[in-house]
């Protein structure tokens, strides 16, 4: 995947937008743990970085390196938002994702004048001008940066949870549905951080019926 620059944001800045925040979330498809979202405002003079791209296209160590660079050297403005397993179970993963994104925006220490949101949905309860962008993490630098920040922070969270619940391998699988994770659930049952509703979905029973 080609690294991203701020061409998109600079074009919007010509229309008068100065504080442009990219928004993305991670963890929608995981079997355990929270959804984590980030809102990131990049400086328009941001230096080019070879690994500024969708977090799914960057290895774990490189993601951590890029996020350290963004936070420590560039001193980006960013906010994080979480949706808990209880919220995911109560209101469904889609609404929980939007909730985490809204919380990330609210955690910024400045108010942006434009939101670039990965996906096709605007955020409920936010009056800031918003542009949803399908597959935005592969197209827009600030959304890609948000995906990296969210991914690194969720991975850290899952690794810490994994030190408390050692049987599930969360330091490796980060709560996603790997065969070893399913096997661990079959052996040990659910933890308080598993999304039990996901296991009632037909596709999980069909794909992993041998585990139950």
Angle between helices 60-68 and 141-164 (to 10 degrees): 110
Domain locations in the chain as residue ranges: 7-207
- For 109-165, the pLDDT digits (tens) are 999 999 999 999 999 999 999 999 999 999 999 999 999 999 999 999 999 999 999
Say how many C-beta atoms besides its own lie within 10 A of residue 147's C-beta.
Answer: 29
Binding site, annotated residues? 24-25, 118
Residue positions in the annotated binding site for a divalent metal cation? 24-25, 118
Out of 3.40.630.30, 3.30.420.10, 3.20.20.80, 1.20.120.1760, the CATH code matching 7-207 is 3.30.420.10
Is 82:100 a contact under the CB 8 Å cutoff?
yes
Q: Starting at the edge strand that comes first in sequence, how are the strands of the sheet with 114-118 ordered? A: 77-83, 35-41, 20-26, 114-118, 130-133
The whole-number pLDDT of residue 156 equals 97
Could you read off the pLDDT of 157-193 as tens digits, one per residue? 999 999 999 999 999 999 999 999 999 999 999 999 9
The mean of the pLDDT values for the chain is 93
pTM: 0.93
Average pLDDT over residues 54-81: 95
């Amino acid at each position: 995947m080609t690294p991203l620059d701020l061409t998109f944001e600079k074009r919007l800045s010509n229309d008068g937008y100065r504080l442009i925040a990219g928004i993305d979330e991670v963890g929608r498809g995981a079997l355990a743990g929270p959804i984590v979202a980030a809102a990131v405002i990049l400086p328009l003079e941001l230096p080019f970085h070879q690994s500024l791209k969708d977090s799914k296209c960057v290895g774990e160590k490189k993601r951590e390196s890029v996020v350290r660079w963004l936070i420590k050297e560039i001193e980006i403005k960013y906010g994080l938002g979480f949706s808990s397993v209880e919220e995911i179970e109560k209101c469904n993963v889609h609404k929980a994702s939007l909730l985490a994104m809204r919380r990330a925006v609210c955690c910024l220490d400045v108010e942006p004048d434009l939101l670039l949101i990965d996906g096709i949905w605007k955020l409920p309860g936010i009056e800031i001008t918003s542009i949803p962008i399908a597959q935005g993490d592969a197209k827009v630098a600030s959304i890609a940066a948000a995906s990296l920040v969210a991914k690194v922070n969720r991975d850290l969270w899952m690794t810490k949870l994994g030190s408390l619940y050692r049987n599930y391998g969360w330091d490796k699988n980060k709560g996603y549905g790997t065969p070893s994770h399913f096997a661990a659930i079959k052996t040990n049952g659910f933890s308080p951080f598993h999304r039990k509703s996901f296991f009632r979905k037909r596709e999980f029973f069909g794909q992993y019926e041998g585990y139950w």
